[in-house]
A and B are shown apart, each in its own frame.
Chain A
Amino acid sequence: NAGVTQTPKFQVLKTGQSMTLQCAQDMNHNSMYWYRQDPGMGLRLIYYSASEGTTDKGEVPNGYNVSRLNKREFSLRLESAAPSQTSVYFCASSEVVVDSPLHFGNGTRLTVT
């Protein structure tokens, strides 16, 4: 079972460049999320999508945009990358039911120089 698949696994960008992180899930989940993980800060929610066609800001949305392309796919775009966006990015999905667990991808390690 693939679960949640993220691409790419690693990426190095120069300041000002743009890129899109891709995420796809094959569990038929309605909700999808983007988190960033930084040392000593845990995971912080960037954006989430409760269902296809809807997106909402999380704790740290500035500098990012998202697209819920369909039920399976949820992409994260950096329009003009900054060194402060150096991080590990995780995509996750879950059922709509409030106590259902999040299923995470293996992450994208992004470095902005």
Chain B
Amino acid sequence: AQSVTQLDSQVPVFEEAPVELRCNYSSSVSVYLFWYVQYPNQGLQLLLKYLSGSTLVESINGFEAEFNKSQTSFHLRKPSVHISDTAEYFCAVSRGTGRRALTFGSGTRLQVQP
């Protein structure tokens, strides 16, 4: 079975500062990795995903994540955050083969302050 650990439950940061949200996973098989974002009173939306190939993946709104197989990590970064980035962020893992269902981490609440 796979599992996901998000090390920080809350991350406060000032606007225009850089941020890193940490995610570590464990799995005995190959996996796909995802970051989802949840804005208040909404469902989750896909932010970015790693399937194979380049270990650095980017989203359309400036976030990026790097897959590190040796450290089993998939940390999410943004060089300069905006107030509108305030949301909860979930790291998730899916098995590369077999049953298709995501396992989510416990979430990190990003609070961007002016």
Among the interface residues B32, B51, B100, which one has the most CB atoms of the partner chain A within 10 A? Answer: B100
Number of A-B contacts (CB under 8 A): 61
Q: Assess whether B104 is interfacial by the CB under 8 Å rule.
A: yes
Question: Min CB distance, B36 to chain A, in Å?
Answer: 8
C-alpha spacing A63/B22, complex, angstroms: 33
Of B4, B36, B43, B49, the residue contacting A107 (CB under 8 A) is B43
C-alpha spacing A96/B104, complex, angstroms: 19
Q: Assess whether B94 is interfacial by the CB under 8 Å rule.
A: yes
Among the interface residues A31, A45, A90, A99, which one has the most CB atoms of the partner chain B within 10 A? Answer: A99
Size band of the interface chain A makes with B = 20 to 34
Of B36, B43, B49, the residue contacting A4 (CB under 8 A) is B43
Of B4, B34, B101, the residue contacting A33 (CB under 8 A) is B101
For window 30-85 of A, CB contacts with B under 8 Å fall at: 31, 33, 35, 40-45, 48, 50, 56, 58-59
Q: Give the residues in chain A near B96, CB-CB below 8 Å.
A: 98
**Are A31's CB and B104's CB within 8 A?**
no
**Are B106's CB and A40's CB within 8 A?**
yes
Of A35, A59, A96, A99, the residue contacting B32 (CB under 8 A) is A99
Q: Assess whether A101 is interfacial by the CB under 8 Å rule.
A: yes
C-alpha spacing A90/B107, complex, angstroms: 15
Quick one: closest A residue to B9, CB to CB?
A40
A residues at B contact (CB < 8 Å): 4, 31, 33, 35, 40-45, 48, 50, 56, 58-59, 90, 92, 94, 96, 98-99, 101-102, 104-107
A-B residue pairs, 5 tightest by C-beta = A104-B43, A101-B46, A42-B104, A43-B104, A42-B106
B residues at A contact (CB < 8 Å): 4, 6, 9, 32, 34, 36, 41-46, 49, 51, 90, 94-97, 99-107
Known: A33-B101, A99-B94, A102-B46; 13 extra A-B contacts, CB below 8 A, are A40-B9, A40-B106, A42-B6, A42-B104, A42-B106, A43-B102, A58-B101, A98-B94, A98-B97, A99-B49, A99-B51, A102-B36, A104-B45
